[in-house]
Amino acid sequence: MPATDPADLTARLIRCPSVTPHEGGALTLLQPILEMAGFTCTRIERGAVSNLFARWGEKSANRRFGFNGHTDVVPPGNPEDWRFDPFSGTIAEGRLWGRGACDMKSGVAAFVAAAVDFVTETPPEDGAVILTITGDEEGDSIDGTTAILDWMATEGESMTHCLVGEPTCPQVMGEMIKHGRRGSMTATITARGLQGHSAYPHRARNPLPALVALLDRLARHELDRGNGNFDPSTLALTTIDTGNTASNVIPAQARAVLNIRFNDGHTGESLTAWLQQETEAAAAQSGIALELSARVSGESFVTEPGPFTELVAQAVKAECGVTPELSTSGGTSDARFIKDHCPVVEFGLVGQSMHQTDEHVEISHIHTLKAVYTRVLQGYFGQNRPG
């Protein structure tokens, strides 16, 4: 049986217009490929999202290695701004072009190709290979990997370790493995006063000064200075809105949104409590009604260095010729959900073009990524296995 070509599979996936939350034919393309290799596949539908769970081997196997990734993509924007049609999967200049080429249809194609060839050529004894592929990573992430994990819990399915195929390398293929992520939360603060004429401010209660003063205090507060695993936590103001189109009217209401990326010195709960305390103090001092709402999209986590991280690092070094750095930098990924299920790390391509116009990937890097994933599988089910 010929080896599965991950670059060709990536191109075919790019031609599936799977903009969140639409499946776009991507999972429909992958399922028969996996079933022909002996994987048992289950489509998991929740809300408007389609997901795919695939397992080779018995769910009672002693070791159950998992890969996780997503086939949904962000919108391409104006197609006329692209060199090639964003859903054409065009090959030019040694690169594969299209929406999702980098983030992360190439990663999915690489681990599908690696898994298919591995179980076909060297099927592990008392082992299972599990693929969890979601269509909701770029969206609200409510009905994607979380839906798969919920279904797995109900069905008695589990992974012993998992590798997420997100792009992890800033500039050089192989330079970085993500072994953790900062937490993320978004807070909205609404200030309510009394509308009035700007020439008679004493007849109004302007909510803006109180809100701005609170935001300035929050933005200048040092959350922490980082630690051995994480950079300092950050708080960014992302918008302040009044909906006021008149220059001579004091608005009755103003709204601000901020985002916090936090390390393991905090939790979503502790930060929400801090924000609530600051908001209540500002309301008491100003006499303006201030209301906080907060949503935590993920807690921080670290997979401690050990046999599992070393296994992945050795595979990366062998195929890329680079000793990878263990990092917790960047945004969030679905690893934030998997970390409650089993130990998880992330390794994938160079991510410079993700979400951009003319998104692309080096074709040679796709093949290298498949080789890394193959080495991981060989090592995991071989003699030097992580505990």
pLDDT attached to residue 160: 98
Q: What are the φ and ψ backbone dihedral angles of 56, each rounded to 5 degrees?
A: -105, 130
DSSP assignment string, 189-229: EEEE-B-EETT-GGGSB-HHHHHHHHHHHHHH-------SS
Per-domain residue ranges of the chain: 6-181+300-380, 183-298
How far is it, in rounded angstroms, from Cα 347 to Cα 345?
7
How far is it, in rounded angstroms, from Cα 325 to Cα 380?
20
Q: Is 157 a catalytic site residue?
A: no
How many CB atoms within 10 Å of residue 307?
Answer: 14
Q: Are the CB atoms for 70 and 334 separated by under 8 Å? A: yes
Ramachandran bin of 242, using left for φ above 0, alpha for ψ from -120 to 50, beta for the remaining angles = alpha
* Catalytic choice (137, 138, 157, 166): 137
Structural tokens at position 337: 């959900």
Q: Is 137 a catalytic site residue?
A: yes
DSSP assignment string, 305-327: SSHHHHHHHHHHHHHHSS-PEEE
Which residue's entry shows tokens 């080495």? Answer: 375
Per-residue b or e along 192-205, where b marks 16 or more CB atoms closer than 10 Å to that residue's CB: bbeebeeeeeeebb
Closest CA to 52 of 63, 64, 73, 66: 66
* Catalytic choice (72, 117, 334, 362): 72
How far is it, in rounded angstroms, from Cα 178 to Cα 344?
9
pLDDT attached to residue 1: 64
Query: Is the pLDDT reported for residue 260 higher than 90?
Result: yes
Query: Is the pLDDT reported for residue 34 higher than 60?
Result: yes
Averaged pLDDT for residues 241-259: 96
Per residue in 212-247, pLDDT (tens digit) is: 999 999 999 999 999 999 999 999 999 999 999 999
Q: Determine whether domain 6-181+300-380 maps to CATH 3.40.630.10.
A: yes
Averaged pLDDT for residues 141-160: 97
Q: Are the CB atoms for 106 and 96 separated by under 8 Å? A: yes
Query: Is the pLDDT reported for residue 113 higher than 80?
Result: yes
Longest dimension (CA), the chain: 82
pLDDT attached to residue 230: 94
Which residues, 6+ apart, have CB-to-CB distance to 140 below 8 Å?
none
Which residue's entry shows tokens 């997100």? Answer: 166
Specify the DSSP element, H or E, that contains 240.
Answer: strand 234-241
Query: Is the pLDDT reported for residue 383 higher than 60?
Result: no
pLDDT attached to residue 15: 98
- Highest CATH level, class, for 183-298: alpha beta
Averaged pLDDT for residues 71-90: 96
